Structure 1
Amino acid sequence: MKNRLFTLAFVLGVICPAHSQQRKNISSKAISPDLIGVFFEDINYAADGGLYAELIQNRSFEYSPTDHGGWNSFTAWEYITQGYGYGALSVETTSPVHPNNPHYAVLKVEEVGQEGIGLKNSGFDGIPVKAGEKYNFSVFIAQQDGSSMPMQVKLLNKKGETIGETTFTTTSKDWKKYTATITVTQSQDSASLVLLAKAKGKIAIDMVSLFPQNTFKNRVNGLRADLAQTIADLKPKFMRFPGGCLVHGDGLGNMYRWKNTIGPVEQRVAQKNIWGYHQTAGLGYFEYFQFCEDMGAKPLPVVPAGVSCQNSGGTWRIGGTGQKGIQLNEMPDYVQEVLDLIEWANGPVTSTWGAKRAAAGHPKPFHLEYVGIGNEDKITPEFKERFKMIHDVVKAKHPEITVIGTVGPAPDGEDFELGWKFANKENVPMVDEHYYMKPEWFLANQKRYDTYDRLKSKVYLGEYASWGNSLFNAIAEAAYMTSLERNGDVVRLSSYAPLLAKAGHTQWNPDMIYFNNTTIYRTANYYVQQLFSTNEGDMYHSNVVTPAINKADTALAYSCVRNSKTGDVILKLVNSSKVEKSFNVNLSQFKGIGTKAVVTILTGDATVENSFETPDKVKPVTSNFKAARNFTYTVQPMSLTVINVKGNR
């Protein structure tokens, strides 16, 4: 049915005999309906302390100096002995909750004092809470001495005053999970949580957790609602995850292995983050897939290509390990790990891994279509051998899956050339190009994909951005994105990167969305991505828009697409100059549209940027517009203008 509707739309919009004379100079082609998506990587504290809604930092006492210099098992924790109580606090590994989660705290209470003794957690730059909202507390405790232990949990404001509390009593010598709900009485941007033991004895403590009930879509172990909604508002057609350089990791032992990130959170494998902090894996593959489904985006997981990052160990320094490959005799097991991922995502509940997905609460398949293999890998013989082993098996056993390869971290150069040569030799369906360049580069390279061979591997532009968050940067990206639409038959997917950055914890700039514990601001780059994604088409039409004066004006860029589902014709007009410019628009080829239109404009001074202090300094403005079959439209300096002419299918 979908193909029939697409064909009908094509016939009505392209080859209707009544307009054949007008279409002699019109060129139209089908383009990817999945062109604009998002890329999530746990860089800049994007996951723990960011999108992942957990409010307790180092909840399972797994932090270590290898994660970050100066860290240890009690980072973000404070030993509390107020009211003349005393005892001892230690970290042990003898009898953990689960072998994958080896460290836990042991609290020995020798004298209770007036208030009890225990632990205080400061969260990620404080714990943000809102008055009247409910928070789910949980902890694993094993009673090591004594038959039970009365416990008190308190949320404190900056003055040390209680703004929410609960109590419970331990009942088991074995590990047991205790849960409670805390209602907060006062909004705070930097609260702390205190866990107090109220009697003599000895207890083991692990997985201390505090979650807002108000997560995105109210998911358990879910996402920070406002931040997730900001991403969802982009209306992405897909989401690539979990990286990035995070995927192939800092050495073979640090590779991101998807199986370590599913199941109960206390059984997941935490590890060092390649960007210099810690991954709890609380935001794991199930949560990624669920988030994609919740916002209507296709999942695009990326798995290592059997080799570690070529920069492992800091190869720019003496002693770096560089790219290392999984032993060839271990590769069949690794290839099976990739096959298991596809079964986990798409298999029936009767399959081994489909049953695990169902047990996690999702019996229906996730409808996985894309799998990325590798990320910016150096194109060495070791890489090519291992990539081919994975690619060939996936292609043979799952022809419905589009495998996406990699061609290095730059728009040209040795790895780019070698990667493309290898991809075309092996008939890889799609390759992942990456580049971060000056805005002038994006303006000067709008014809990059015009000459790509349409019969060879398609392109996923997986990571790109101009160096900055000014309006000029965003307008340069908008100009380039019109060329992505023009070449949407070969560029099938694209995503700006990085997506998120937490204030005070950025390893990389620029980024699309900046946030702290309570506030978010969207950059001009965000609004450009949103305007393209929410004004998508699946047919590209050339010769509809032309500059009114100088067709060779390099300050101008434009595109025309039609959405076959809605019948809308969408024009994107970009002016990167300092003066007004005009475009001629000829809509006479299109049937089924009228004069009703909406125009959205993003404009301002070239240097303007949004910030926490002025989050709406640059923002799109929308108004109604009356279109005509032929009209001239004048666009403002330094602007992106989107004109959506309403139509019928």
Structure 2
Amino acid sequence: MKIFKAQSYRKHLCHGIVPVTFMVVNMLLCAHAFAQGVKGGKKISPDLFGLFFEDINYSADGGLYGELVQNRSFEYSPTDRREWHSFSFWQYITPGFSYGSLNIETTSPVHPNNPHYAVLNIEHLGDSGVGIRNDGFAKIPVKAGEKYHFSVFAKLLSQDPVNIVVSLQNPKGETLAESKIRVSSPDWQKYTTDLVVSATNDSTALVVLATTKGKLALDVVSLFPANTFKNRPNGLRADLAQLLADIHPKFIRFPGGCLAHGDGLGNMYRWKNTIGPIEQRVEQKNIWGYHQTAGLGYFEYFQFCEDIGAKPLPVLPAAVSCQNSGGTWRIGGTGQKAIDMSEMQDYIQEVLDLVEWANGPAASTWGAKRAAAGHPAPFNLQYVGIGNEDKITPEFEQRFKMIYDAVKAKHPEITVIGTVGPFPEGEDFDKGWKLANTLQVPVVDEHYYSAPEWFISNQYRYDTYKRNATKVYIGEYASRGNKMKNALAEAAYMTAIERNGDVVSLASYAPLLAKSGFTQWNPDMIYFDNTSAYPTVNYYVQQLFSVNQGDTYFENVVSKNPADSALAASCVQDSKTGDVILKLVNAGPEQGSMKINLSAFGKLDAAAAKTVLNGSPEAANVFGSAAAVTPVTSAFNAAKTFEYTAPPMSLTVIRVRKKK
């Protein structure tokens, strides 16, 4: 590491380099302060660690969203992928020498937002019938004894009613569950029935078979497990949602980063298109190269946040599309498009309407829509993000300022989070910070994906940020790997985030979820397939920090050898419980010693809990195998002062309870 001449400290940080002189001085000061004992501590953000959900890697449809039918509304198209069309993932079936026809029509849809529907004409019945089959997202998994809710919108196009047999069949064509419905109305109606499965199978298909002659229209063909998270209708896959709940995040940012501002103006994520009955929502291309039904929409996001005690943090476009629109990812930023100024007042009202929808009384215009969905009480929205990794162009600056000023004037209780571009340095970063300082934006969103070494060397990034100015939300970060060495580099950095919790208000690892075989971005926190989920080592680091958050940071509790750069530590206290929480990181190959002094905290219970996560530098939880590295909790005797020997490549959390 070089020793630099006097230059801007932040400049060195932006290049991932920390001057040795600063590091040594800082460490020596910490060692001196330790000798003086704990004094008071400083308040840090109570919302420090949370989650960032982006609909990438099939995280929503085919993932967290519980729907088991793929292309349920026949809205897939070449816009999503060149080879896709309205019948993608559907098969026309005529078992038993039956015949008829299947077409897509748009003349009289269930709703204008959902224009395509299938028309099934049953001309001749052999031994069985005429129908359609869906294999879901790489097959449909079912469990013996469990119930599945089937629904479909249908209308009769012939004179006599049409009987339909709905079944779940295994790869051999054997029926695992079956039920019947009768379509009798010439108007669109929703028909529902339940299927109870007789045998567990990971590779079933849904079959909808008309068994009487006639003609009918079908749309929004849906199959949901009854056992969704919290048993919510139109709900979430229970095991994935529970893994997220087990992190105990303080907030969840959604619906994404690049997804939010979209691939061109027509692809921007518009929150109003994602609420209300699912048959009325607007489906569209996903910027990551597939399709989004909007079944997991703003109501479901807010409801999930409430269900797990996390604050909602929706991110809205800053009236510009992604600068990488049109396939220019990471190149030049020539694709950014801006909403025309003649449309800006309508767009600003859309942002303001979100606050009313989330927080307004049930009698208000948009609060009534929330109440109609089943939630008359406000969601208590506190944060709203405006923009994501945007190129800081004059068009962006003008529109961001208009939105920010309007929200600040109408809703001063809302904390607006701005953006400073896609990188932790460079032109957009500097311009973004300049704009934030000029407008006095409360919080800005910094992102960085870097090697583990970057996180180790940048632990002092926020030490010199102004303490009473714009705060930071680290909305996306990861060390480009899912090995133990990656997770511990992140853990060391997170101790620095706690140390600077008066400047850093929020932080979230990204991306969150990735489906095996459908992944556009690595690394991710949790990998999954149709039946199982596999938390990475990074997941357990995030969980240990999140479930052990505090609201006061203490500088002088832990001391170590200043020359041992592999060691990092933090000490926080939870004012609600009085618990003192130590996080001790050893990112090196040899054991390391740290001295702890708890004498200034008054009466603490010596019977503490110690949780250790450790493994070799290359250790990882491999998808499809039992987890190799998981936290282990044991009892620990916490004296007023003690020395702790941290195992090689480890994160240790010691939680000491206040004595009753």
TM-score category (smaller protein): over 0.9
Residues 1:21 and 1:461: Cα distance change in structure 2 (over 3 Å): closer
CA offsets 1:94-126 (integer angstroms, 9 cap, x no match): 100000000000111110111101000000010
Task: Note if 1:587 corresponds to 2:606.
Answer: no
Q: How many Å separate the matches in 1 of 2:58 and 2:542?
A: 22
User: Following TM superposition, by how much is the alpha carbon of 1:648 offset from its aligned partner in structure 2, in angstroms?
Assistant: 5.1
Does 1:69 find its partner at 2:69? no
Aligned counterpart in structure 2 of residue 571 of structure 1, from 557, 574, 582: 582
Q: Could you give the per-residue CA deviations for residues 371-399 of structure 1, whole angstroms, max 9, x where no partner exists?
A: 00000000000000000000001001111
Aligned positions of 1:82-231 closer than 5 A:
82-231=95-244
Deviation at 1:69, TM superposition (A): 2.4
Deviations 1:230-284 (A, max 9, x none): 0100000000000110000000000000000000000000000000000000000
The residue that corresponds to 2:479 in the other structure is 466
Q: Does 1:235 align with 2:272?
A: no
Counterpart in 1 of 2:609? 598
What is the rounded CA distance, in whole Å, between the counterparts of 2:644 and 2:157 in structure 1?
77
**Kindly tell me: are residues 648 and 433 of structure 1, through their superposed partners in 2, closer, same or farther at Cα, counting changes over 3 Å?**
farther
Per the alignment, residue 508 of structure 1 pairs with 521
Tell me the SS of whatever aligns to 1:89. Answer: strand
Alpha-carbon deviation of 1:594? 2.3
Deviation at 1:201, TM superposition (A): 1.1
> What is the root-mean-square deviation in Å for CA atoms of aligned residues?
1.5
Deviation at 1:329, TM superposition (A): 1.2
The answer to whether structure 1 residue 609 and structure 2 residue 620 are counterparts is yes
Per-residue deviation, 1:614: 2.5
Change in CA separation of 1:208 and 1:564 when aligned onto 2, cut-off 3 Å: same
Q: 1:621 to 1:136 in 2, by over 3 A?
A: same
Q: Per-residue CA shift, 1:197-225, capped at 9, x if unaligned?
A: 11111111100000000000000000000
Query: What percentage of residue pairs aligned between the two structures are identical?
Result: 68
CA distance in 1, matches of 2:208, 2:313: 40
**Structure 2 contact 605–659 (Cα < 8 Å) conserved:** no
Partner of 2:65: 52
Letter matched to residue 456 of structure 1: A
CA deviation after TM superposition for structure 1 residue 612, in Å: 2.9
* 2:359–2:381 Cα contact (<8 Å) kept: yes
Alpha-carbon separation, structure 1, partners of 2:559 and 2:491: 17
Partner residue in 1 for 2:26: none
Q: Is the 8 A contact 2:38 2:600 kept in 1?
A: no
Deviation per residue, 1:125-155 (Å, 9 max, x gap): 1001100000000001111112210110010
* Counterparts of residues 387-536 of structure 1 (less than 5 Å): 387-536=400-549
Displacement of 1:25 in angstroms is 6.1
Displacement of 1:294 in angstroms is: 0.3
**Residue in structure 2 matched with residue 8 of structure 1 by the alignment:** none
1:285–1:317 distance in 2 versus 1, CA, 3 Å: closer
Aligned to 1:3: none
Cα displacement string for residues 418-452 of structure 1 (whole angstroms, at most 9, x for unaligned residues): 10011001100000000000001001100000000
1:28 CA drift (Å): 1.4
SS of structure 1 residue aligned to 2:433 = helix
Question: How many angstroms apart in 1 are the aligned matches of 2:332 and 2:462?
Answer: 40
Give 2:656's aligned amino acid.
Answer: V
1:588/1:434 Cα in 2 relative to 1: closer, same or farther (>3 Å)?
A: same
Aligned partner of 2:566 in structure 1 is 555
Q: How many residues align?
A: 628
- Aligned-partner Cα distance in 2 for 1:632–1:236: 31
CA distance in 2, matches of 1:317, 1:77: 36
Please say if residues 138 and 177 of structure 1, whose CA atoms lie closer than 8 Å, have aligned partners that are also in contact. yes
Distance 2:53 2:43 in 1: 28
The question of whether the paired residues in 2 share the 8 Å contact of 1:311 and 1:322 is answered with yes
1:316 & 1:349 partners in 2: Cα distance?
A: 42
1:630 aligns with 2:629: no
Describe how 1:13-28 pairs up with structure 2 within 5 A: 26=39, 28=41
- Equivalent residue of 1:173, what SS? coil
Q: Which amino acid aligns with 2:639?
A: A
User: Does the aligned pair in 2 maintain the 1:76–1:123 contact within 8 Å?
Assistant: yes
Q: Distance in 2 between matches of 1:569 and 1:259?
A: 44
Compared with structure 1, are the counterparts of its residues 30 and 416 closer, same or farther at alpha carbon in structure 2 (3 Å cutoff)? Answer: same
- In 1, Cα distance between equivalents of 2:280 and 2:396: 31
Q: CA deviation at 1:330?
A: 0.6
Matches of 1:320 and 1:379, distance apart in 2: 10
| TM score, norm. by length of structure 2 | 0.94
Do the aligned residues in 2 keep the contact of 1:22 with 1:589 (CA within 8 Å)? no
Q: Is the 8 A contact 1:36 1:495 kept in 2?
A: yes
C-alpha change, 1:593 and 1:403, in structure 2 (3 Å) is: same
TM-score, normalization: structure 1?
Answer: 0.95
Residue 90 of structure 1 aligns to a residue in which SS? strand
Q: 1 CA distance for matches of 2:380 and 2:329?
A: 41
- The aligned counterpart of 2:309 is 296
- Preserved contact between residue 314 and residue 320 of structure 1 (Cα < 8 Å): no
1:528 partner SS: helix
- SS at structure 2 position matched to 1:204: strand
CA contact (8 A) 2:448 2:478 kept: yes
List gaps (5 residues or longer) in structure 2. 1-32
**What residue number does 1:329 align with?**
342
Question: Aligned with 2:126: secondary structure?
Answer: coil
Determine the C-alpha separation between the residues in 2 that align with 1:321 and 1:84: 56
**What residue is the counterpart of 2:368 in the other structure?**
355
2:392 pairs with 1:379: yes
